[in-house]
Amino acid sequence: MALTVLFLGRLQDIAGEGQRIVEYRADVASLIATFEPGLAEALRSDKVRVAVNGAFAATALSEGDEIAFLPPVSGG
């Protein structure tokens, strides 16, 4: 099965797309390792948050999950 990966904010610019369907991986670290080097480096930043099916702090993945990478947000 597959995973749906969402790239938000500046991560969308780095990925070149807002959404990508990828082959299943068991955890977030394994998922990030499949991406091109520049994107993987950006996703590994301490400031990037990861949500799995809308919940933060999940690292284990299940088939069919939606994983969202969220960059830091600033505003005024």
Domain boundaries, the chain: 2-70
CATH number belonging to domain 2-70: 3.10.20.30
Question: In whole angstroms, how large is the CA radius of gyration of the chain?
Answer: 12
Largest separation between any pair of C-alpha atoms in the chain: 41
Backbone angles phi, psi at 38, to 5 degrees: -65, -40
Query: Any bridge partners for residue 19, and if so which?
Result: 6
User: For the chain, how are helix, strand and coil distributed in percent, rounded to 5?
Assistant: 25, 30, 45
* Residue 73: band (very low, low, confident or very high) from pLDDT cuts 50, 70, 90: confident
Q: Tell me the pLDDT tens digit for each residue of 21-41.
A: 999 999 999 999 999 999 999
pTM for the whole structure: 0.88
